[in-house]
Structure 1
C-alpha cells in the first residue's frame, strides 16, 4: 500500500503581533485600534504620510511608549508592559537604538563593541582589551556580510553616509535580533547605496523578521512581502504590495506621491 501523502507546507510563523494597539495623548488619538502581525523570514513595510502614526507604532512596539490600550506579543509572550531594555534583550531590536557609530573607532571596533553584550563582555570592564580578540571572527563575518570588508580597518568617520548606514546595520545585527525594526533605512541615500541596503535587508530577512518604515515605494515593491498602510493612526489597507497598490483608497491617498 502506498504511503499517505503529507503536506510539507507550513504557515508563516508570526513573531511579533499587536491587537487593538491604541495610543492617546490627551484627547488626540495618535494610534487607533491597530492590529499587526509580523511574520518570521519576511520584510513587512509600514507606510503612510507624515502624521499617519508610523513612528508612534514603532515606539509602542519597542516600548519607548506605553500603549493606552491593546496588547503586544513577541514570540508568543505578552510584552505589553515589559520595559524597553528587556524587550531588546528578548530579541526585538530597533535600528536607531544603536545607530550612532563611534566616529573615531574603526569599522571592526564598532562591530566588536556591539558584540560585547551577546559575547558576554559588556559588564566585564576589568578585562584587558585583548579579551575583545575573541570577537574578531564573528565581527569579520558581519562585516563581510554587509559588504564592508574593504573598509574593515577604516575609521567610521571616514565612511560615506551610505556606508555609515551599512555599518549601523552590521552593529544592529551584532545583537542577533529575532525581529529587526528599521526606521526609514533608505533616507538620504543615493541610488547605489539604496541598492546595497535593499540587498542586505533581503538577506537579513531570510533568517529573521524585518519591520520597516519606508517612504521609497520602489524599495517597498522590490523587497517587502507585506505592506500595512496607515492613515491618521488607523490601518487603511494591508496585503502584498500589488494588492495594496490596487486599493483605490491607497491609490488616491498615497501612491501618486513620494510621501506615501
Structure 2
C-alpha cells in the first residue's frame, strides 16, 4: 500500500557542466511504496537526474533528501548503505560465474563477508538459502547453476535485479530496465518489478511508454533539463506540451 510520505525528494536540483546547464531547477518527490517513472526525449536530462539522485554526480545547486536525511553531499556507497540502491542500463553481472555465485557474492557485503578474506570459501555456503530465495524471487531457480553468460538478455537483467535486492534496499532505482528486450522479456521483467515493488519503492528511467502506463503510479516528464509535467500517466499523456515533446511521436 502506497503512503503519501515522500521517501526521496529533490529541491531546486541544478547541474552545470562548464557552462552547459544539463539539469535546471528540478524539484521532484517520490512517494514511499510507489512505482515512479522518469521519462522524456533523448537529451532531456534523465540520466543526469538519476546520477544526481544516486550520488554519482554532485549537484551544482539544490538539495536531495532521503527518508528525512540530507544526502546531497554523500557518496554512492553511503546512500546505498541507507537503502537507496540503483541498477545500471548495462547489465553488470559476472558472466562466467553461475547465477548462484553471482547472488552469493552480492550477499557478502550485507553479511559482512566482503572484507573477511581469511574466511574459507565454504563460508559462502551459509548464504545459499538467502541466495536461492532471491533467485526464486526473480524467476531464475531453474538457472541457478548455469553460468550467467548463457542466460538470455532478459534473464541477465533479472539476475542483476536479484544482486541489487541482495542489498535489501528500501528504494530501488532502475535505469532503463527494458532496454534492448523483446516482448516476452519485457513482460517477464514488468511482472518482476511489480512483485518487488510490493514492499519497496521503485524509481525507473524508461523509454517504453506501454510499460510506464502499465506499471507506474506516477510519471515525471523531463524536457531540456527541466520538469515539463508530473502526475498520473493519463494526466501527463493528455498534456499538449508532453505530447509535442515526447509522447506524440512515440505513439503515432
Q: Which residue of 1 aligns with 2:196?
A: 204
Other structure's SS at 1:256 match: helix
Q: Is 1:71–1:80's contact at 8 Å kept on the other side of the alignment? A: yes
Partner of 1:25: 17
Q: SS of the residue aligned with 1:196?
A: helix
Partner of 1:222: 214
- Normalising by structure 1, we get a TM-score of 0.93
Give the conservation status (yes or no) of the 8 Å contact 1:30–1:56.
yes
Q: 1:245 to 1:183 in 2, by over 3 A?
A: same
- Work out which of the residue numbers 32, 38, 47 in structure 2 matches 1:46: 38
Q: What count of residue pairs does the alignment treat as equivalent?
A: 252
Q: 1:134 to 1:97 in 2, by over 3 A?
A: farther
- Counterpart pick for 1:176 among 168, 172, 183: 168
Kept in 2: contact 1:183–1:214 (CA 8 A): yes
| Bigger-Rg structure (1/2) | 1
Per-residue Cα deviation, 1:22-63 (whole angstroms, up to 9, x for no partner): 111122111011111111211100000111000000111111
Please give the per-residue CA displacement for 1:132-168, whole angstroms capped at 9, x wherever unaligned.
Answer: 1111111111111110010011111111111111111
The SS at the match of 2:221 is strand
Q: Structure 1: which 5+ runs fail to align? A: 1-8
Correspondence for 2:66: 74
Q: Distance in 1 between matches of 2:194 and 2:31?
A: 14
Structure 1 position 99, deviation (Å) = 4.3
Partner-residue secondary structure (3-state), 1:121: coil
Equivalent pair of 2:91/2:156 in contact (CA under 8 Å): no
Alignment partner of 1:213 out of 189, 205, 213: 205
Q: Secondary structure at the match of 1:35?
A: strand
1:87 alignment partner in structure 2: 79
- 1:238 aligned onto 2:238: no
Deviations 1:178-231 (CA, angstroms, capped at 9, x unpaired): 111111000000000000100111111111111100000000000000000000
Q: CA RMSD in A?
A: 1.8
- Alignment partner for residue 119 of structure 2, among 111, 114, 127? 127
- The gaps in structure 2 that reach 5 residues or longer are none
Task: Give the C-alpha shift of residue 258 in structure 1.
Answer: 3.2
